[in-house]
Amino acid sequence: MASRYFTPRVWTRECNQLISLAGDALLDARPKQVALSGPAGFLGSRVLAALLDAHHHRRENGLEPGEVVLLSSSPGNLMSRLINIHGYERMNSVRATRVDYYFQHDVDSWRDQLGSLGMGGPDAVFVNLAALAGPRSDRPDAMMAVNYRAPVAAARACEELRFGHWIQSSTQAVKAERAGQVPYSRWKAMADYSLARLEKLPVSVFTLGLLYCKAQGVVGQRGDTLNMVDLTLLPITPIMGNGRAPLQPLEVGDAAARVAFCALTEPTERPVQPHHENPNCANWSRPKIDPARQYTWRAYDAVGPETMTMLKLMETFAALNGRKLNPVFVDYRNFETVLNVASLGNLNRQFVSLLRSEQDAERPIVGNPDVFETLMGKDAKLFRMDDALKQTDGDGNVIAIKRRSFPFLAMTSWTWNNLGVIIPGTNLVLETIGTYLFGRRFAIDESWRWIRFGAMSTLLGGITAASMHAGAEFSKWWGEVTGGAGWPPWGGF
């Protein structure tokens, strides 16, 4: 292996923030074997791109790059797609293997699979980014399997193989007062606690906030059907509750660069975020860590540098799409009844339930991003959403976020495939329009039953009127066909 001390440093033409801020640290580190789960996800795809940039940087400086092993339920299709995106040269340090988080829950299978791939030892790293935020109708235990059983079994296998580092993507929702009532945050919290009990595996946990992409103008996780940002493209935008739930949006590129940096460097060299820095966090908000475990345990608040309300967030996204937000405050329960039937991409009942609890919580979730921000160096800064409004072209148009159009076709297809959302969706639409026309007084808790009663009465009244009209037209047509002879006689009469 060539030594970096005898090779001139070569920088890529388009250096991302990982290379520009932490290039020296990446060259000083030993080459790593990185097992990456969730490589096709909103965050995972960007972590993979950052890892490939780091590999390219090491190659240009005469060093062995290391390798990435992608864990996927469809590795062949994934590799074909990634080669088309990144090219053969960048992908020559990448392998893929098939895993199924829905079924692979025993330690032996994980240990044997990772071991058969030649993974193990202090330079092996497991980056767990696989997550399932919404339920699946065909698998009632899907959220438990993906968020708890599979990663815990994999972590115990990594401990037996003496892996050097485990990186866990968690969520700020585990610190919410209602975290135990929401399946997604409950399983994530249980996985975090199980990782804290491992004695020999160094672990870094990133408790992620709300992720967004400044280049695409989308919010994670799955935004192909309907994105939360798309609601700002409507003439009037329903805002859940009173819009005061605090959020700390984090640009996904910032998160990906720091996750990749921690995967490629030594975990014990990273700073520790003190747990007592945030006075809003209660004692139950983090797992109890054995004093000896604190030397090999890191937990970071992976949140954005600015705290804003749900209303402010939607106003910002509307401005970045060249629109003015027309907010209407609606009851959370109408959103929940729709999302109980099916999730809308990143709009799912888990997210709505946590927002509902946070808007009135005595101790809302507010993370401290200071340590997370400087993981790659003291000069590293997190992107601020407000800064996007200041980035304009020569004509004064905002350029930081791609302008979007409302996905009517995708929305229609989603409704057709989930017919059960029609009635609760009608309630939500009528509540939104009624509140917009007649004032916010209708969006209070005491009026919720009346809103649903009025919405259902309107719907049933419309169906009745349409049926009566159709019946009258049919009777008229039948009379013309029979020449006024009336209805045909019944058999035997």
Q: Tens of pLDDT along 49-76? A: 999 999 999 999 999 999 999 999 999 9
The whole-number pLDDT of residue 387 equals 77
Least confident span in 235-249, 256-270, 349-363, 369-383? 349-363
Task: Give the range among 102-116, 307-321, 338-352, 417-431 with minimum mean pLDDT.
Answer: 338-352
Q: Over the chain, what is the mean pLDDT?
A: 80
Measure the CA–CA gap between 211 and 205, rounded to whole angstroms: 16
Indicate the pLDDT class of residue 344, thresholds 50, 70 and 90: low
| pTM for the predicted model, two decimal places | 0.81
For residue range 370-407, list pLDDT tens digits in order.
999 999 988 899 998 877 766 766 676 666 556 677 87
Q: Can you list the positions of beta strands (E) in 30-123?
A: 33-37, 67-72, 94-98
Q: How far apart (Å, rounded) are the C-alpha atoms in residues 277 and 428?
A: 40
Do 194 and 289 form a contact (C-beta atoms < 8 A)? no
Residues 254-273: what's their mean pLDDT?
90
| pLDDT for 123 beyond 70 | yes
Helices and strands: H and E segment counts in the chain: 17, 14
pLDDT-based confidence at residue 279 (cuts at 50, 70, 90): very low
Is residue 432 within 8 A of residue 245, CB to CB? The reply is: no
Length of the chain: 493
And the tokens for 493? Answer: 């009469």
Strand blocks (E) in 73-184:
94-98, 124-128, 165-171
- Kindly tell me if the per-residue pLDDT of 351 is higher than 90: no
CA angle 456, 460, 463 (to 5 degrees): 145
What would the CATH number be for the domain defined by 4-223+248-307+364-384? 3.40.50.720
Q: Where are the domains of the chain?
A: 4-223+248-307+364-384
**β-pair partners for 126:** 35, 166
Cis before 181? omega within 30 = no
Quick one: average pLDDT of 425-430?
82
- In tens, the pLDDT along 157-202 reads 999 999 999 999 998 878 776 666 677 888 888 999 999 989 899 9
Q: Indicate whether 2 pLDDT > 60.
A: no
**Identity of the highest mean pLDDT range in 4-18, 209-223, 346-360, 367-381:** 367-381
Quickly list H helices, 173-238. Answer: 183-197
Say yes or no to pLDDT of 10 above 60. no
Q: How far apart are the first and last CA of the chain?
A: 100
Using an 8 Å Cβ cutoff, are 353 and 178 in contact? yes
More confident residue, 164 or 15: 164
Query: Which residues, 6 or more positions from 430, have their beta carbon under 8 angstroms from its beta carbon?
Result: 451, 454, 455, 458, 459
Q: What is the share, in percent, of the chain residues with pLDDT greater than 70?
A: 75
In the predicted model, is pLDDT for residue 31 greater than 90?
yes
